[in-house]
Chains A and B, each alone.
Chain A
Amino acid sequence: MNIEPVAFAALAGVAVATAVLALLVRELVHTILWIAVFFVALAGIYFLLAAPFLGVLQLGVYAGAVTILLLFGVMVTRKRIFSREAATGIGPVPLALAFFTVVLLAAAATVLPTHEVPVRAYAVTDLSTTLFGTDGAWLLLLGLTMLAALAGAIYLVREGRE
C-alpha cells in the first residue's frame, strides 16, 4: 500500500478547505488560525515534493512569522479582538464564477495525464550552491528589497504623519 497518494489527498483537502474557511468565517481571529493550518498543510506538500528545506522555510516564515504578524495587525486595529465582521453577503456572480471554475476544472482533470512521474530529490547543499553560487545575487537582491520595504513600512507608521 502506497501512502503517498493518501497523504497528498489529505493534505490537499485540508489546504483547500482551510483556505475557503479562512475567507468565509466571521471572526477575523478564526481566519488567521485557519490560515495557519493552511500554511502547515502546504509545508507538508513541499515535503511530499522532496523539498524539505522549503517545507521548513514555509513552517518558519509563514506558519510562524506571517501568522503572528497578522495576529498583531488584528490586535492593534480593533477594540475587541473577537468582534465579528459585518455580514458581507456573497453575490450571485462570484458564486456562479466559482461553480463555473469547478466544472471547468473537473472537465480538464479528465484529460490530464495521470501517469506517475518520480519526483527528483535534491540535496540541500546543492540548493545552497544554487542560491549562493553566483556571489549570492539572489539573496542580495531579496535583502535589498526587504530593506527598502521595511524602510517604507517604518515611514508609513511613524508618529506625527498626517
Chain B
Amino acid sequence: MTALPPAYFLALSVLLLGVGVFGILTRRNFILLLIAIEIAINAAILNFVAFGAFSGTSAGLTGQSIAVVLVGLAATEVAVGLAIVLALNRLRGSINVSEATSLRF
C-alpha cells in the first residue's frame, strides 16, 4: 500500500497550475494556449484524485468518478478548441490569438 505525505501531491498540483497559468498569460499561439489549459486542467484532476485517495472513506470513489468525467470534458474541449483553430486559420491565415479580433468593436 502506498504511503506518501498528501502535501507532495498538492505541491505538485500547485506547481502544474502555476505553469499552466504562466502559459495562458504569456503564449499567443492558439495551440500552445490549448496545451497550457490542458496542463492547468490536469493539475485540477490530480487534486481530485489525491484528496479522494487520502480521505480514507468512499469519497475516493467520488473523486475518481469526477476525474473520469473531467478527462472526458477536457478531451471534448480540445476537440472544440482545434475546430476553432481550423476556423481561425481559414479566416485569418494564422493562429495567433492576438489577431482574432473580429468580435471586438
Q: In the complex, A98→B21 CA distance in Å? A: 10
**Inter-chain contact B72/A120, CB cutoff 8 Å:** no
**Inter-chain contact A54/B67, CB cutoff 8 Å:** yes
**In-complex Cβ contact of A70 among B15, B31, B77 (8 A):** B31
**In-complex Cβ contact of A130 among B7, B27, B65, B82 (8 A):** B65
**Inter-chain contact A28/B31, CB cutoff 8 Å:** yes
Residues of A within 8 A of B20 (CB): 19
**Inter-chain contact B80/A153, CB cutoff 8 Å:** yes
Residues of B within 8 A of A70 (CB): 31, 34-35, 78, 82
**Inter-chain contact A19/B79, CB cutoff 8 Å:** no
* CB of B61 within 8 Å of the partner chain: yes
Smallest beta-carbon distance A80→chain B, Å:
14
**Inter-chain contact A69/B4, CB cutoff 8 Å:** no
* CB of A1 within 8 Å of the partner chain: no
**Inter-chain contact A4/B3, CB cutoff 8 Å:** yes
* CB of A85 within 8 Å of the partner chain: yes
**Inter-chain contact A23/B19, CB cutoff 8 Å:** yes
Are A145 and B76 CB-contacts (below 8 A) given A20-B19, A49-B53, A127-B65? yes
> Which chain B residues (72-105) contact chain A, with CB distance < 8 Å?
72-80, 82-87, 89, 95
